[in-house]
Amino acid sequence: MDFASIARRLALLAGTAAAALGVAGAQAQEEKHKIFLSMSYIGNDWQAEAANMIKAMAAHPNYADRVDLQVQVAGPNAQRQIQQINAMVQAGADAILVFPISPTALNQVVKNACDKGVKVFAYDGEITEPCAYNITIDQEEAGRVTAKWLVDELGGEGNIIAVTGVPGTSVDEQRTRAAKEVFAEHPGINIVGEAVGMWSQAVARTELSKILSTRNWDEIDGLWMQVGCFTANAMQLEAGRAPEDLLPCAGEGSNGGRIQMLPPDTEVEGASMPYAPLGAPRISYASPPYSGALALKLAVAALEGEDVPKRTTLPLPVVTNETIELCEEGSWEEMKEGCNAFKPALVSNPGWFASIFSGETPEIGLNAALVGQPEE
């Protein structure tokens, strides 16, 4: 089912919930829905931000009296995540939200959970067990679109560096495969360095430093990075490269990278190098970190009898130098109007992900992504 259909269902659910809340002396639900969050790898900004938004959704007045959210971290270990999910089922889970470390390794434990009446919702990464619900962008489209942009920027020829994500996840596998298929169609494109970046700015710096120990920036024409374009630009500046000579980078939706995309003469409160407007040539995409919060919303809908589809495909947020727009206040309404980057005075961490807006999650905004607080 497409995202618009999900929107209509959630709007209906919200209206029903609002009507129920508006009845004076309405009976409180006897017991809250016991919902667990199973996080896998947490060593990056995206995972922390997604968890914040899930917590904020659970704390919103629409859900605070209906949801008991408990959070556990498995780390990048499929066996540990399997054990964790088993324990959640035994602890009486009604639903489990999960960022799966593998699309297939969890299938049996998820099937066992479903057989016991537990609803399992995977966000961003996929689970292939048919009883699971999946909320994600089209990861292959993300890889394809960004690779094609880079090929076009380079006129079909050049040496590039590729920095991938967390190995074993469906997210990394699908993006990387799709991007490499595009590059393979252009014999003039050569991947001269490749590294596992773990979706982390810090890891990206370490891995780029290793690659650059055997070649210099002048031997590279572009970069395809699941995370790390902000860091790559910073490293080029540190090496003495002029801002106008920064290499084109196809990568993540980090706020630092998007601020760097702004025209160099843009006045931005709190900006300082390298977290500053540079006119850096970029395409910036994202798995939106609100996907986990939407998963919680859909889980509650399913637990309360709504017909929820097994797959929800989210719109792919794509921002280029032509479409970058600065948010002045970061309000939900301002984001609704189309802004897609936040002043450093509002967001101090350049690795923080900026694609936080969805019309289907008005309960969460900037403060949800930053500190786990819902909208008023």
Confidence bin at 75 (pLDDT 50/70/90): confident
CB atoms within 10 A of CB 105: 18
- CA-nearest of 210, 173, 178 to 195 is 210
Is the dihedral angle over the CA atoms 58, 328, 123, 362 positive or is it negative? positive
Q: Which residue has the higher pLDDT, 140 or 31?
A: 140
Query: In whole angstroms, what is the distance from residue 330 CA to residue 180 CA?
Result: 36
Confidence bin at 316 (pLDDT 50/70/90): very high
Whole-prediction pTM value?
A: 0.90
pLDDT tens for residues 212-222?
999 999 999 99
pLDDT tens for residues 111-136?
999 999 999 999 999 999 999 999 99
pLDDT at 54: 98
Question: Quick one: CA torsion of 85, 87, 93, 99, rounded to 10 degrees?
Answer: -20
Query: In whole angstroms, what is the distance from residue 349 CA to residue 51 CA?
Result: 16
CB atoms within 10 A of CB 85: 25
Query: In whole angstroms, what is the distance from residue 270 CA to residue 132 CA?
Result: 44
Query: In whole angstroms, what is the distance from residue 51 CA to residue 284 CA?
Result: 22
The percent of residues in the chain predicted with pLDDT above 90, rounded, is 88
pLDDT tens for residues 227-267?
999 999 999 999 999 999 999 999 999 999 999 999 999 99
pLDDT at 236: 98
Confidence bin at 17 (pLDDT 50/70/90): very low
Q: Is residue 243 reached through a cis peptide bond, with omega within 30 degrees of 0 on the bond before it?
A: no
Confidence bin at 43 (pLDDT 50/70/90): confident
Pairing of strands 282-285, 318-320: antiparallel
pLDDT tens for residues 325-362?
999 999 999 999 999 999 999 999 999 999 999 999 99
Q: Return the CATH fold of 3-137+288-314.
A: Rossmann fold (3.40.50)
pLDDT at 27: 37
What residues have CB less than 8 Å from 297, skipping those under 6 apart?
10, 57, 63, 360, 361, 363
Per-residue CA distances from 137 to 43, 143, 233 (Å): 21, 11, 26
Query: In whole angstroms, what is the distance from residue 332 CA to residue 317 CA?
Result: 16
pLDDT at 376: 80
Which has the minimum average pLDDT: 3-12, 210-219, 315-324? 3-12
Say if residue 21's pLDDT is above 70. no
Which residue type is seen at 328?
E
Question: Quick one: CA torsion of 233, 284, 270, 346, rounded to 10 degrees?
Answer: -140
What residues have CB less than 8 Å from 23, skipping those under 6 apart?
none
Say if residue 158's pLDDT is above 60. yes
CB atoms within 10 A of CB 68: 13
What tokens does 245 get? 């000579």
Say if residue 25's pLDDT is above 90. no
The percent of residues in the chain predicted with pLDDT above 70, rounded, is 92
User: Which residue ranges does the chain devote to CATH 3.40.50.2300?
Assistant: 3-137+288-314, 139-285
Which residue type is seen at 168?
G
Query: In whole angstroms, what is the distance from residue 119 CA to residue 126 CA?
Result: 15
Confidence bin at 9 (pLDDT 50/70/90): low
pLDDT at 10: 53
Mean pLDDT of 61-72: 97
At 49, give phi and psi (nearest 5°).
Answer: -65, -45
Query: In whole angstroms, what is the distance from residue 78 CA to residue 85 CA?
Result: 11
pLDDT at 3: 56
CB atoms within 10 A of CB 304: 13
Decide: 330 and 19 in contact? Cβ < 8 Å: no
Confidence bin at 18 (pLDDT 50/70/90): very low
pLDDT at 28: 44
Three-state DSSP state, 100: coil
Sheet holding 311-313, edge to edge: 67-73, 33-39, 95-98, 119-123, 133-136, 311-313
Residue range 139-285 forms a domain whose CATH class is: alpha beta
